[in-house]
Chains A and B, each alone.
Chain A
Amino acid sequence: MTSSPVVWQAIEAFVVLNALLVLVAYVTLLERKFAARMQSRIGPYYVGRPHGWLQPIADALKLMLKEDVVPTASDRGVYNLAPIVFLVPCLLIFATIPFAPELGVADLNIGVLFFLAVSSLEIVGLFMGGWGSNNKYALLSAMRAVNQIISYGLPFIFVALVPVLLAGSLQMSAIVAAQQGLWFVAYPGLGQLAFVLFLVAALAAENRVPFDILEAESELVAGFRVEYSGMKFALIQLGEYAHMLGTSFLGALLFLGGWSGPWPAWFGPIAFLLKAVGIFLLVTWVRWSFVRIRVDQILAISWKLLLPASLVLLLATGFVVALRGAGGA
């Protein structure tokens, strides 16, 4: 799509952004229904009968109408800016994701790199929120966030590089093209290991249970966003879910072959969405079954287990690619 005129690209960006916002809203409903099933509940039901399909909209409206409280002791500038700084990278990551061949905002030739770089920017917003709130719970949470995201950023990147090596390109459409015959998750040995490591690292990068120590509502009340209310809270929530969804799309693209598969071309984007939602549900399943682990244990898992494992995996992939000869592209 790099050859399209700027206007066309802007329109595309607008459509993707709005579709994304709606998708994020309904992904929250999906998660709530899914969690309710796991917990033998019904979940949202009454707002938009029969299955609460208006619930996300009602939630958004409610949050918009809420009073916007700014604590007197907070650092106003930092506090007010933090939700935006947090949200923008979370939405930007969708810029490089192609949803079908030639359908996406910008299929950069360094797409994966862009995704990884931008998604790790969210930590700035997190820390600003935690610091600017001038709340001890928020501060502790911000410290934990920095700890965790630095520790899990590295294995996440290394694991995401495995498909890149296999495909021989950083361009997302090229990675999908390399999976036409065989999805990378089915790549003997390497694929499965990398996919599992990717899921674990993604859980941590998305701050989901069991790695949600920065939200940790039973210890730190609500972590870095304890002081946020109304629309600012909604923005943070939106950013979090957008990040989660973005990571799911990345997982579907890197390991599950994106839109490729044994179906007609028009079904490709739908299949891609279904795959991403599948990964999202897998993550949700984990979230609603485990208890949270402690900060030192999280760091130990990252530095003692995930990082060496992902490095070894990357090395092994390198060997495989070298032995195979030409890297695909």
Chain B
Amino acid sequence: MNTQTQVVELGYGGNERLMLNMGPQHPSSHGVFRMILTLAGETVVAVDAVIGYLHRCHEKLGETLTYAQYPSIASKTDYVAAMTAELAYVSAVERVGKIEVPKRAQYLRVIAAELQRIASHCLWLGTWCLDMGGAIGGGSTVFLYCMREREMILDRFEELTGARLLYGFHQVGGTRYDVPAGWDTKVRATGDFMEKRIDEYEAMLEGNAFFLVRTQGVGVISRELAQEVGVVGPLIRGSGVNYDVRRAEPYSSYRDFDFRVPVETAGDCYARYRVRMVEFRESIRIIRQALDGLPDGPISSRPGVKSVGQVRVPKGEGYARVEGPRGEVGCYLVSDGGPKPYRLKWRGASFTNLAVLPHIIPGHKVADVVAIMGSVDPVFGEVDR
């Protein structure tokens, strides 16, 4: 809302354009994102996306912190899916250092990552409906339902790690915490409960004609565009490309689990919604399988590594990627043999996903801008880093 002092440049000839500055402070900017929209009436003719309002020097910070310290900071890149962000970092360190991870730790990582996916998708569904339905309207109803369910998963995380949002659960060589007593029954109960709730969301949204007209055929990303821009996660799967890092390059024992990668061909907001709704259920399936087959054994190949200088990684470089809720999260690491990385580079899923906005938004109405933006599910901690 920093445009108020500008004079409205609207003429009477009919060809004039209105520049509308949406963000960085805007109810639907999902953080701090600025879109400079050029409008012809209500229709958007051009979008200029401006990012960088949440830049925190994450990569430089990574160079100043040791391998033992950084995982809990890595969770702050994507604060909505902290588990997968941490996992990307520790995987990169393990790849460079050729560090083995015990089977039990791998399964625990999978459980944490999939729970995180459900929590993140809950937040996405809620905020997206909030974008379309308004804070005083049906959107907030869905939002509050989703928040209620996300709370249950945060409770499980709290029992596991003691933290609710930024966990510090992973460490190089394994995980920091083991499962507390009785946790797996609680997680199973959460999964069963979630499945019922997801049915409710689907009944509430898919039987709702207004929801369908707002999402179907809106913000279509063609298969070609998706591949050209390099969008990842639910976006590319919603555009008909069967790409999931868990399948393409299985990490952390994902090979052991039987799950489906949902693919929709329409490429519109509704397709992306469908993909995520199926992912909800598939995540629950994976969690059940992982709990069933949870092997005994140590949770870390380097137990007791707590002091900051103890993890050292030989000279080398490596890239590790994981499938976060928003798509491929990558971490590129260069080591010079010291206790800290020489160079760290993040590849955020939201960053590439946002790049598709200027291609798909023009031609839509202002109301669709927020719907499309919400269907991309950006987290600006991950975009700006």
Chain A interface (Cβ within 8 Å of chain B)?
35, 38-41, 71-73, 134-137, 139-140, 143-144, 209-210, 212-213, 215-221, 226-227, 287-297
Contact = CB atoms under 8 A, between A and B. Distances in A.
A73 B367 contact: no
11 contacts: A71-B4, A135-B3, A144-B42, A209-B138, A216-B367, A217-B135, A220-B366, A287-B138, A293-B214, A294-B367, A296-B42
Given A137-B1, A210-B133, A294-B367, 4 more contacts: A39-B140, A287-B138, A289-B138, A291-B138
A221 B21 CA distance: 12
Contacts of B214: 291-294, 297
Contact of B135 (A40, A140, A218): A218
A218 B4 contact: no
A213 B134 CA distance: 10
B138 A295 contact: no
A213 B1 contact: no
Contacts of A41: 144
B144 A218 contact: no
A221 B134 CA distance: 10
A288 B210 contact: no
A291 B4 contact: no
A144 B129 CA distance: 21
B355 interface: no
A265 B6 CA distance: 60
Contacts of B4: 71, 73, 134-135, 227
Residue in A139, A292, A297 whose Cβ sees the most chain B Cβ within 10 Å: A292
Contacts of B335: none
A210 B138 contact: yes
Given A73-B7, A135-B4, A291-B208, A217 B138 contact: no
Contact of B213 (A212, A218, A293): A293
Contacts of A294: 213-214, 365, 367-368
Contacts of B21: 136
B145 interface: yes
B302 to A, nearest CB: 45
Contacts of B120: none
Contacts of A216: 134, 367
A39 B140 CA distance: 8
A288 to B, nearest CB: 5
Contacts of B177: none
Contact of A209 (B7, B41, B133): B133
B137 A288 contact: yes
A221 B210 contact: no
B373 to A, nearest CB: 10
B56 interface: no
Given A210-B210, A218-B132, A291 B5 contact: no
Given A40-B145, A290-B210, A296-B365, A218 B138 contact: no
A39 B145 contact: yes
B136 A297 contact: no
Contacts of B42: 140, 143-144, 295-296
B137 A212 contact: yes
B126 to A, nearest CB: 11
Contact of A291 (B1, B129, B145): B129
B370 interface: yes
A291 B139 contact: yes
Nearest to B374: A218
Given A71-B4, A291-B211, A297-B213, A218 B134 contact: yes
B151 to A, nearest CB: 11
A41 B145 CA distance: 10
Nearest to A213: B367
B132 A291 contact: yes
B134 A212 contact: yes
Interface string B1-43: 1011111101000000010110000111000000000010110
A73 B5 contact: yes
B130 interface: yes
B208 A290 contact: yes
B141 to A, nearest CB: 5
Contacts of B211: 290-291
B335 to A, nearest CB: 45
Contact of A139 (B10, B137, B145, B210): B10
A108 to B, nearest CB: 35
A218 B214 CA distance: 14
Contacts of B130: 218
Nearest to B139: A291
B121 to A, nearest CB: 18
Nearest to B215: A291
A292 B133 contact: yes
B148 interface: yes
B5 A72 contact: yes
Contacts of A210: 133, 137-138, 210
B133 A291 contact: yes
Question: Which 5 residue pairs across A and B have the least CB separation, nearest first?
Answer: A209-B137, A291-B133, A290-B138, A39-B144, A291-B132
A297 B42 CA distance: 13
B369 interface: yes
B131 interface: yes
Contacts of B5: 72-73
A210 B23 CA distance: 24
Contact of A134 (B8, B210, B213): B8
